[in-house]
Structure 1
Amino acid sequence: MISHLVLLKCRPDVSQTQIDDMFTQLNSLVGVIPGLLSCSGGENNSPEGINRGYTHGFVMQFESIEARDNYLPHPEHKKVQPAIHTVLNECEDNVLVIDF
């Protein structure tokens, strides 16, 4: 199994409706993109204070490396990307992605 972890720096003026829409669109990919097993995400609520400006994140679970690799160029993934870009802060490091 492959975990796809994405951290986002969202603009402070973004509405909760926009954030909810982004997560709804991401969650809707489960069952549509082959090999995408789950998606969960939300707003940072860690009390540690070491989030380095990342305000939201999500994790997708894929059944294999191949499933993850097929997700990246998938047309349904491409349809969700504008919802993500709409909420992002305008800075160089507004997204951090690691897979493990």
Structure 2
Amino acid sequence: MVRHIVLIKFTEDLGEAAIAALFDELHAIEGKIPGLLAITSGRSESPEKMERGYMHGFVADFTDWDALQAYQDHPEHQALGAKLVANADGGKAGILCFDLPVAGG
């Protein structure tokens, strides 16, 4: 399994309702890409308070690297990705992506 982790530092003027709408759009992709197992999204509630401005994010789990690539190539993902970049503080600089192979997943 591959876990796709995305942390986003949204612009200060973007409200929670607009962020929720972006995440709703993300969840609309579920069921459209073979090998996409699940998406979890939301706002950090970490008691450590070490987010450094990356207060929102999501995790998408895929069966394998090919499924992750299919997701990355999917037109709905590309359109949403452009919206995330447009609403992130500093554009792409306000988004962190990390892909982690998970054994036994």
- Same fold, TM-score > 0.5, yes or no: yes
5+ long unaligned stretches in structure 1: none
Q: Aligned in 2, Cα 1:47/1:24: closer, same or farther, shift over 3 Å?
A: same
Matching of residues 2-81 of structure 1 within 5 Å: 2-81=2-81
**Counterpart contact for 1:39–1:59, Cα < 8 Å:** yes
3-state SS, counterpart of residue 70 of structure 2: helix
Shift in Å, 1:72: 0.9
Aligned to 2:84: 84
Distance in 2 between residues matched to 1:18 and 1:92, nearest whole Å = 18
Amino acid at match of 2:44: N
3-state SS, counterpart of residue 54 of structure 1: coil
Distance in 2 between residues matched to 1:30 and 1:36, nearest whole Å = 7
3-state SS, counterpart of residue 93 of structure 1: helix
CA RMSD of aligned residues (A): 1.5
Shift in Å, 1:5: 0.2
Structure with more helix by fraction: 2
Amino acid at match of 2:51: N
Q: Which runs of 4+ in 1 moved over 6 A?
A: none
Q: Aligned in 2, Cα 1:18/1:86: closer, same or farther, shift over 3 Å?
A: farther
Overall identity of the aligned pairs, in %? 35
Shift in Å, 1:97: 0.6
Aligned to 2:103: none
Count of equivalent residues: 100
Distance in 2 between residues matched to 1:59 and 1:77, nearest whole Å = 14
**Counterpart contact for 2:41–2:58, Cα < 8 Å:** yes
